[in-house]
């Protein structure tokens, strides 16, 4: 383990050379010592005039062409999910590695935006690109904090989220649920994201251990703790279910019991496993659900909860389940360049 007093200016200390090369080969840009940014495919597509953007644009109102996909913890995750389409074999599972993740939150935000804009700059000469959208893309309005690794391992996360709020940038934070102590900090330090996602990949402890391969012994207590903390949080909450045929596509009542722990205002995304990237080495294309199967699972879950499907995006193999829809579910971010950031979390 490296000396904790080593100067960050000496290089990307927390990335192994092999992992750094793998990320850069996959078009990631390294930011500082433990963060990374990559242009999402939907961001690129969103620059086209006819593009409707990713499912988050339809479900929640974010603008895909103004969204930065990044992580402050590219070097570590404490799960090795079989469906993960990132190179998670190269993750360090050691949480203590992140004790050395000391980059300043403001620097991470600024570096992520700069890297994002550098990677987008070449699109300006493409005649198929909508010129107005390209101009708007130079003003980042959304951060998807979900690129790779586990963001809640970064101890500076509260400051990073407050910095985004200061810049009128929305934050969609995704967690694996193993760090309720960080969710408590976000709550207590007035640092909750615009929308908090938690992956909900199994209806019981044994299935979770099989599909997510957690690297800490008390993972189930942590999962339950995070779900219970979500109840009452003053922010938008989404439970994200990645359904893998033959692995976790069963026990709807078990899922429903866990979902209820998060409170009545939670939404649930039911999405099929996608056969992409390194996940192709762990699973087969047959592990994907058809859209009819996604709808069937979503309808059975909604019936179990007494909820309903409130939106869907067939080409992304995803449906959105909630107790009821409400006017503020699709957020109004105002003008693309100067608009406000006042999302509503109440139903």
| For the chain, domain boundaries | 14-322
* DSSP label of 204: S
Helix, coil or strand: residue 188: helix
d(CA 266, CA 317): 20
Residue 309 exposed, middle or buried by CB count within 10 Å (0-12, 13-18, 19+):
middle
pTM higher than the cut 0.75:
yes
Q: What is the pLDDT along the chain (347 residues), one digit of tens a residue?
A: 333 333 444 445 678 788 788 888 888 899 999 999 999 888 888 887 666 789 999 999 999 999 999 999 998 889 999 998 776 555 555 556 678 889 999 999 999 999 999 999 888 888 888 889 999 999 999 999 998 899 999 999 999 999 999 999 999 999 999 999 999 999 999 999 999 999 999 999 999 999 999 999 999 999 999 999 999 999 999 999 999 999 999 999 999 999 999 998 899 999 999 988 778 889 899 999 999 999 999 999 999 999 999 999 999 999 999 999 999 999 999 888 876 665 544 43
Closest to 171 (Cα-Cα) out of 235, 75, 84: 235
> Architecture of 14-322 per CATH?
Alpha-Beta Barrel (3.20)
- 227 is written with which tokens? 């779900």
Task: Name the packing angle between helices 252-261 and 219-230 (round to 10°).
Answer: 60
CA atoms within a 13 Å half-sphere pointing along the CA-CB vector of 288: 13
d(CA 207, CA 117): 40
d(CA 256, CA 266): 12
Handedness of CA 120, 124, 128, 129 (dihedral sign): positive
């Amino acid at each position: 383990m490296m000396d904790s007093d080593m100067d960050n200016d000496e290089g990307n200390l927390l990335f192994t050379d092999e992992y750094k090369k793998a990320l850069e080969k996959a078009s990631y840009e390294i930011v500082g010592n433990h963060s990374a940014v990559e242009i999402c495919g939907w961001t690129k597509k969103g620059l086209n005039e006819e593009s409707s953007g990713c499912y988050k644009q339809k479900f929640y109102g974010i603008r895909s062409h103004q969204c930065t996909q990044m992580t402050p913890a590219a070097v570590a995750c404490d799960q090795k999910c079989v469906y993960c389409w990132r190179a998670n074999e190269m993750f360090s599972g050691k949480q203590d590695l992140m004790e050395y993740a000391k980059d300043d939150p403001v620097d991470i935000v600024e570096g992520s935006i700069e890297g994002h804009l550098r990677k987008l700059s070449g699109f300006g000469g493409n005649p198929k690109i909508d010129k107005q959208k390209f101009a708007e893309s130079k003003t980042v309005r959304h951060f998807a904090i979900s690129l790779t690794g586990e963001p809640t391992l970064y101890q500076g996360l509260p400051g990073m989220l407050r910095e985004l709020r200061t810049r009128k940038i929305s934050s969609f934070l995704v967690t694996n649920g193993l760090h309720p102590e960080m969710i408590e900090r976000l709550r207590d330090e007035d640092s909750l994201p615009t929308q908090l996602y938690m992956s909900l990949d199994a209806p019981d402890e044994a299935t979770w251990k099989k599909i997510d391969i957690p690297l800490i012994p008390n993972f189930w207590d942590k999962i339950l703790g995070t779900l219970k903390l979500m109840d009452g949080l003053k922010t938008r909450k989404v439970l994200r279910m990645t359904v893998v045929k033959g692995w976790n596509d069963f026990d709807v009542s078990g899922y429903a019991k866990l979902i209820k722990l998060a409170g009545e205002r939670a939404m649930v995304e039911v999405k099929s496993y996608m056969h992409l990237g390194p996940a192709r080495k762990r699973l087969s294309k047959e592990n994907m659900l058809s859209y009819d199967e996604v709808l069937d699972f979503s309808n059975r879950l909604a019936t179990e909860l007494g909820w309903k499907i409130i939106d869907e995006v067939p080409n992304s193999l995803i449906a959105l389940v909630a107790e009821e829809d409400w006017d503020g579910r699709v957020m109004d971010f105002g003008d693309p360049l100067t608009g406000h950031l006042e999302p509503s979390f109440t139903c």
